[in-house]
Structure 1
């Protein structure tokens, strides 16, 4: 197995900058002495929120989405993704702003997108995304103890909030079209045991 010391950076070039991400390439000397360009896109960190809400909270809030059935639910948002021209059912998510932790970003994004504020959050996992082309980290945060807050969408967010029963969330997320952030976050949540039972610890 090669080590980072065996890869020498000869040049780092940013070819373009956008409000969403920067793109460019590194010219590297590979372990065998040959040279190769490796292209990348750099994005700020993002957070995905697995947010569990008590069905009674939904019933008591007139602004809440209608739940499929009683009991604990997970919050989802439906939104059109222009890059792939599809509408996806996704977990709430967003960019981590400068100075924020993943849990702080999760609390802010969840309230902005869904109108619910968590009283408890925990970081389940941080990981690098699509390492062959992206410089981008993602955190998965579990949130519960949700109470009604103030929804405040960004100018490019056209979201419909919906709920799915906790015990059906993973099954529903596997229905096409499927996206990686929702599926991986739910698998991590299931592995950590926060999707089992009526209430998470």
Structure 2
């Protein structure tokens, strides 16, 4: 195995005839689904690789020495302005965004935001927050408003929980 290209965010590895990408900070990175008063909170993000803007769950790379839960809490605060403690997050599971070419494994979390909580300022990386009522999520997938692989996988992990085990279930 050898590294054929590297930058601060990823390296391209060659293993015989196969090539794959190893992302720096991805293995302690996270995606976080957040819900407040029945609405799921997403962010609008410009993605130059697709020359388009997407509606996605907050996510990002982990910093050196940071746990995935701390990364999820930090990304949620930076991208939506809502602060949650890492130990208040519910772990949903692991996802591998593209197992054919990415060596990354990212943890998914869920955060319940109190109904009366107000967001603080964000870091400006996103183009704003988007609220989608929980009952409208299947339609948002069907009509293409939600199509990012991280978001779809996190929602699948959330929906895979038994109804009584889902956060907020009575």
Short-chain TM bin: 0.7 to 0.9
Q: Which residue of structure 2 aligns with residue 18 of structure 1?
A: 7
Relative distance call for 1:194 and 1:99 in structure 2 (3 A) is: farther
Relative distance call for 1:148 and 1:197 in structure 2 (3 A) is: same
Q: CA deviation at 1:126?
A: 1.5
Q: For the residues of structure 2 that align with 1:164 and 1:53, how far apart are their CA atoms? A: 10
Q: Which residue of structure 1 aligns with residue 141 of structure 2?
A: 173
Q: What is the aligned length?
A: 162
CA contact (8 A) 1:173 1:182 kept: no
Larger Rg: 1
Does residue 76 (structure 1) correspond to residue 59 (structure 2)? The answer is no
Does residue 50 (structure 1) correspond to residue 18 (structure 2)? The answer is no
Q: For the residues of structure 1 that align with 2:14 and 2:166, how far apart are their CA atoms? A: 47
Gaps of at least 5 residues in structure 1 are 1-11, 28-36, 55-71
The structure whose residues are more often helix, as a share, is 2
Question: What TM-score, normalized to structure 2?
Answer: 0.83
Secondary structure of 1:116's counterpart equals coil
Of 65, 82, 103, 1:135 maps to 103
Gaps of at least 5 residues in structure 2 are none
Which structure has more relative contact order (CA 8 Å, sep 6+)? It is 2
Q: Which residue of structure 2 aligns with residue 38 of structure 1?
A: 18
Secondary structure of 2:89's counterpart equals strand
